[in-house]
Amino acid sequence: MSQQSASSSLPPTLPLRRGDLEGTAALPLLEYHAINQQLLHKIAYDALVWSSLHGLVTGDKSVERSGSVPGVGLVHAPFTLLPASFPQSHWKQACELAPIFNELVDRVSQDGEFLQESLSRTKKVDEFTSRLLDIHSKMLELNKKEEICLGLHRSDYMLDEQSKSLLQIELNTISSSFAGLGGLVTELHKNILSHYGELLGLNSERIPTNTACNQFAEALAKAWCEYNDSRAVIMFVVQAEERNMYDQHMLSLALRERHHITSVRKTLAQIDQEAELLPDGKLYVDGQAISVIYFRAGYTPLDYPSESEWRARLLMEKSSAIKCPSISYHLAGTKKIQQELAKPNVLERYLENKDEIVKLRKCFAGLWSLDESDIIERAIERPELFVMKPQREGGGNNIYGDAVRETLQKLQKAGSQEDAAYILMQRIFPTSFATIFMRSGSCHKNHAISELGIFGTYLRNRDKVIVNEQSGYLMRTKISSSDEGGVAAGFAALDSVYLT
């Protein structure tokens, strides 16, 4: 171990300083890149074996059938060998926000006019958002009320280095991924530290337990109970090709093993073919009654290659099955709504508790619509301080750096309404630290930044809130030079939290 030699090149956040942690024996200084090569390889080897044995895996892109046939062409999910440090105070702050955001989404989702009005300009230029809004309008016309609402959310944050504040990147209300594999990485890191912690000067108990998978399964199971049809199953709406399928299968397995509930997987196209909606609102797919519809597809225009998929989405929305998310929960999680909620006096329309409003506002980064001309000028001047975001999910769609300037100037020249497709956001700059990535069986030392996602589960039946909880977490780490952050999209690696 060459722990001492690392002290001169300490990055700002990672190292544990002697006496930093109350009640902890003095910890040695540590810089992950200074770990002795032999020890590093030993830990990496153990970690790779652990991931294979525990299902910390995804489909390998180079094997064609790996996206559709389980058990074929597996590769370990990208992960970091050791956890990322995160201050306890900000961790607590992020966890406390989860039930407040859950409630906010629920309240906003019930204000159909606000959703339609806020997205009305976007609707004109963004075909995908427009189709979602059409479904939403139809439900408003039918005066359809969702009696049972289920939210499985993930709110993502970065810790801004300069302001030392925890700032929200976005809130995902549809297909919040990695409740399964994220928890496995936590277990992996705990396992590594219980073996090597003493050598590394790290304590496995500093990694918060992560029960995201069980909590997601429990919320789904409770929703299933509320629907109250013991023959009905939970339907996972999935993409035809899904290399992140094991993250989803972990949830189905937990449903089966812990709650004795059957789940089925269907693509939107299959649902269009096989679904039947009875006059009383009951949904049957391939002859099977469906109680809960859990979307792991349907969040990107790519999931709707033809009218068939849109038909399926509309049919499901019309049904009395519990939708996770309903169309209004989906819309409440769009980036445009995030920006509208950050305007003065908007939160007050949905929440009564002043302390909660203060807590939410504290984590809002700068957010602007593109009809604010002074901010456009500022962004053209200093594009590196902004991120431009269209109404998309799944990673790889945001605009950064010089491309922000070019896009804004192009939009200005065109003078069209196209600008309504985007929002502008303050760019957050987290502190970079030394980490070790594990990708395709190899170790890579890099400087990296992290993004903390906190899962939230919410279940309401009419006036009764049955679940409103913080439900585990997902730490994602990416090399500091990368703009985007998705794991499945290939930018980031799964990580966990080491509280400091």
446-455 burial string, b = 16+ CB within 10 Å, else e?
bebbbbbbbb
Regarding beta strands 57-59 and 399-400, do their DSSP bridges make them parallel or antiparallel, or are they unpaired? Answer: unpaired
Residue 117 annotated in active site = no
Q: Site residues (CB under 6 A) for ligand ATP?
A: 156, 169-170, 172, 365, 387, 389, 392-395, 397-398, 425-428, 451, 484-486
Residue 190 annotated in active site = no
Residue 265 annotated in active site = no
Of the candidates 206, 336, 389, 405, the residue annotated as catalytic is 389
Which tokens sit at 207? Answer: 């990694």
Nearer CB in complex with Mg ion: 317/393: 393
Residue 161 annotated in active site = no
267 binds Mg ion (CB under 5 A): no
Regarding beta strands 288-295 and 233-237, do their DSSP bridges make them parallel or antiparallel, or are they unpaired? Answer: parallel
d(CA 60, CA 108): 39
Residue 2 annotated in active site = no
Compute the C-alpha angle 481/11/198, nearest 5°: 120
Report the length, in residues, of the chain. Answer: 500
Residue 405 annotated in active site = no
Report the candidate in 222, 297, 299 with the shortest Cα–Cα distance to residue 261. 222
DSSP for 134-179 reads HHHHHHHHTT---SEEEEEEEEEEEEETTTTEEEEEEEE-S----H
Of the candidates 51, 177, 320, 326, the residue annotated as catalytic is 177
Nearer CB in complex with ligand ATP: 469/484: 484
Nearer CB in complex with ligand ATP: 16/251: 251
Taking the complex as a whole, the smallest distance from the CB of residue 173 to Mg ion amounts, in Å, to: 9
Taking the complex as a whole, the smallest distance from the CB of residue 336 to Mg ion amounts, in Å, to: 13
Phi first, then psi: what are they for 140, rounded to 5°? -65, -45
Which of 340, 393, 419, 495 is in the footprint of Mg ion by CB under 5 A? 393
Of the candidates 393, 405, 461, 485, the residue annotated as catalytic is 393
Which tokens sit at 226? Answer: 């509320």
Q: Which does 126 bind (CB under 5 to 8 A by kind): Mg ion, ligand ATP, none?
A: none
- 125 labelled as ligand-binding? no
Residue 8 annotated in active site = no
Residue 154 annotated in active site = yes
Taking the complex as a whole, the smallest distance from the CB of residue 70 to Mg ion amounts, in Å, to: 26
H-run or E-run covering 465: strand 464-479
Report the candidate in 128, 78, 175, 93 with the shortest Cα–Cα distance to residue 482. 78
Q: Which does 428 bind (CB under 5 to 8 A by kind): Mg ion, ligand ATP, none?
A: ligand ATP
Residue 198 annotated in active site = no
Interaction pattern, residues 150-179, with Mg ion; x per rule: CB under 5 A: ----------------------x-------
DSSP for 320-373 reads SSEEET-HHHHHHTSHHHHHHHTSTTTGGGT---HHHHHHHHHTPPPEEETT-H
Q: What is the greatest pairwise CA distance in the chain?
A: 73
Taking the complex as a whole, the smallest distance from the CB of residue 253 to ligand ATP amounts, in Å, to: 24
**Which residues line the annotated binding site for Mg(2+)?**
170, 172, 393
**Which residues line the annotated binding site?**
154, 170, 172, 174-177, 242-244, 248, 296-299, 335, 389-398, 400, 425-428, 451, 476, 478, 484, 487-488
Catalytic (active-site) positions: 154, 170, 172, 177, 335, 389, 393-394, 476
Please report, as ranges, the residues that interact with Mg ion according to CB under 5 A. 172, 393
**Which residues line the annotated binding site for ATP?**
170, 335, 389-398, 400, 425-428, 451, 478, 484
